[in-house]
């Protein structure tokens, strides 16, 4: 009797990490890796930086070449979409109608870019999530100076704005918040980023998109709502007149949605991603990893979901280990593993111009932020974030690696605010 396969849905960084970990931890049975894009697994952070700039070509983004994947013995299904999952039987349905009865499933489908109604029908309006998205936008930016309007002043919008300015384009960055990346880094750090973007020639606007203006060959402008936001919350692609921003090109960087629409089984909670326990399990034999997973962080004591690159790899490995541990407990011929809660120190980074932003721990949802500008000209900054009297995160710009590591250690586990602040001050004073 042929063993039922393990299946990883999502040929992403998290999915690849899970597949490799399953083999490394001893699974020698059938292993299916399913990806809806036609490309081999690739790295996404460079899409809005090195690839968009033209410094890198697509092959440099590959996480593994075909030759490096071959020893894994994968049943690799690229250009294939999973359309359903029966959690009780662990049966996947694929877009061709095929059903796969699996011993276990790891879901690593990531997120999809949000867009505006009707935007997909307008030439010159882009999103930036996939390799094909990035190549299409890069082709448009490869010519002469364009008037680029970026809708969304979060991390992606800010990174794309920096690249476009370096390429010589006229850039307007529009956000619902008054300062760039405010929801991620807070108003003070966001204000410092705003200074940098303005100094580089980016026009910053605050507002909600009310629609697009078009001509026969595509988009010609973006309308901002007058007197507040449209009834749809700023996502309408039509409506009344407001401030007009001329545009030859528009990038929608208005966030993302977890790719869970295909998971209709009521046994699975798909509110803001696939809900999992501290072990990354969504149901018996069903695990999740990466941007799509919303899991109970045992240290912070609440459900979290991270759209960050390092988390994807770490969670993919954790999900693989814990799935094999569960299967061994079910009597499956699977190497024994130790089941462990997944409790990382969250980390993200962003490169904008010559500024490197690095953050450890939790910065969003803070009710207290203390920002110290160590050197304004050199953009050297440290910010401490806290919630309910406990320090939860730290962010730095322009600091050397040794100092960054020391600051990470301060919030590796939650500590009282005053203690963390004193340790932060001591670490930065030490140079």
Residues in CB range of 177: below 8 A, 6 or more apart: 153, 183, 190, 206
Confidence of residue 429 (pLDDT cuts 50, 70, 90): confident
Contact 356, 380 (CB under 8 A): no
CATH class held by domain 115-252: alpha beta
CATH assignment, 6-112+256-329: 3.50.50.60
| pLDDT-based confidence at residue 375 (cuts at 50, 70, 90) | confident
Average pLDDT, the chain: 92
What mean pLDDT do residues 177-194 have? 93
CA dist 120 → 39, 250, 361 (Å): 22, 12, 36
CATH 3.50.50.60 domain span(s) along the chain: 6-112+256-329, 115-252
Instruction: Please give the average per-residue pLDDT across 330-335, as a whole number.
Output: 72
- Residue 1 pLDDT: 39
Helices and strands, counts by H and E, the chain:
10, 28
**In the chain, ranges of CATH 3.30.390.30 domains:** 354-429
Task: Say what the pLDDT of residue 240 is.
Answer: 47
Q: 83 in helix, strand or coil? A: strand
Backbone angle region of 255, left / alpha / beta, with phi > 0 → left and psi within -120 to 50 → alpha: left
Reply yes or no on domain 354-429 having CATH 3.30.390.30.
Answer: yes
Confidence class for position 265, pLDDT limits 50, 70, 90: very high
> What is the C-alpha to C-alpha distance for residues 268 and 263, in angstroms, rounded to an integer?
7
Q: Which of 253, 58, 49, 19 is nearest to 156 (CA)?
A: 253
Answer yes or no: is pLDDT of 397 > 80: yes
Cβ-based burial of 256 (10 A; exposed 0-12, middle 13-18, buried ≥19): middle
Long-range contacts of 335-340 (CB under 8 A, 24+ apart): 335/25, 335/26, 335/27, 337/25, 339/279, 340/279
Task: Round to whole Å and give the CA distance between 107 and 18.
Answer: 10
* pLDDT for the residue numbered 234: 35
Per-residue confidence band for 36, with pLDDT thresholds at 50, 70 and 90: very high
Q: Kindly report the number of other CB atoms within 10 A of residue 228's CB atom.
A: 10
Average pLDDT of span 88-92:
98
What mean pLDDT comes out for the span 387-402?
93
Segment 278-316, tens digit of pLDDT:
999 999 999 999 999 999 999 988 999 999 999 999 999
pLDDT at 378: 84
């Amino acid at each position: 009797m042929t063993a039922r396969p393990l299946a990883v849905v999502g040929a992403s960084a998290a999915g690849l990490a899970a597949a490799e970990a399953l083999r490394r931890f001893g699974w020698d049975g059938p292993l299916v890796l399913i990806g809806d894009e036609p490309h081999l697994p690739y790295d996404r952070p460079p899409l809005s930086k090195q690839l968009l700039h033209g410094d890198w070509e697509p092959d440099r983004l590959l996480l593994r070449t075909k030759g490096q994947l071959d020893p894994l013995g994968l049943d690799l299904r690229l250009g294939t979409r999973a359309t359903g999952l029966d959690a009780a039987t662990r049966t996947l349905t694929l877009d061709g109608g095929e059903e796969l009865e699996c011993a276990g499933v790891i879901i690593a489908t990531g997120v999809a870019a949000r867009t505006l109604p009707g935007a997909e029908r307008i030439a010159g309006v882009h999103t930036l999530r996939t390799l094909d998205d990035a190549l299409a936008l890069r082709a448009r930016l490869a010519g002469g100076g364009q008037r680029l309007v970026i809708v969304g002043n979060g991390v992606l919008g800010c990174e794309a704005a920096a690249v476009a300015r370096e390429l010589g384009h006229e850039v307007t960055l529009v956000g619902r918040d008054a300062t760039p990346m405010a929801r991620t880094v807070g108003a003070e750090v966001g204000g410092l980023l705003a200074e940098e973007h303005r100094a580089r020639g980016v026009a910053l606007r605050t507002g909600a998109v009310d629609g697009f203006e078009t001509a026969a060959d595509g988009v010609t402008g973006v309308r901002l709502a007058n007197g507040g936001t449209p009834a749809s919350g700023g996502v309408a692609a039509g409506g009344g007149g407001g401030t007009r921003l001329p545009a030859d090109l528009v990038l929608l960087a208005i966030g993302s949605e977890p790719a869970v629409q295909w998971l209709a089984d009521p046994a699975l909670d798909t509110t803001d991603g696939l809900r999992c326990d501290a072990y990354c399990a969504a149901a018996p034999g069903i695990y999740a990893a990466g941007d799509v997973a919303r899991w109970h962080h045992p240290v912070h004591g609440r459900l979290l979901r991270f759209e960050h690159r390092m988390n994807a790899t770490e969670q993919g490995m954790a999900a693989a280990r814990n799935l094999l541990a569960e299967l061994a407990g079910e009597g499956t011929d699977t190497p024994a593993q130790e089941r462990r809660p997944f409790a990382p120190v969250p980390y993200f980074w962003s490169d904008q111009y010559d500024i490197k932003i690095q953050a450890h721990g939790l910065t969003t949802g803070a009710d207290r932020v203390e920002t110290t500008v160590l050197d304004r000209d050199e953009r050297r900054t440290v910010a401490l974030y806290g919630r309910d009297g406990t320090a939860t995160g730290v962010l730095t710009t322009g600091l050397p690696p040794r100092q960054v590591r020391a600051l990470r250690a301060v919030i590796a586990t939650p500590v009282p605010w005053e203690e963390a602040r004193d340790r932060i001050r001591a670490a930065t004073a030490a140079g």
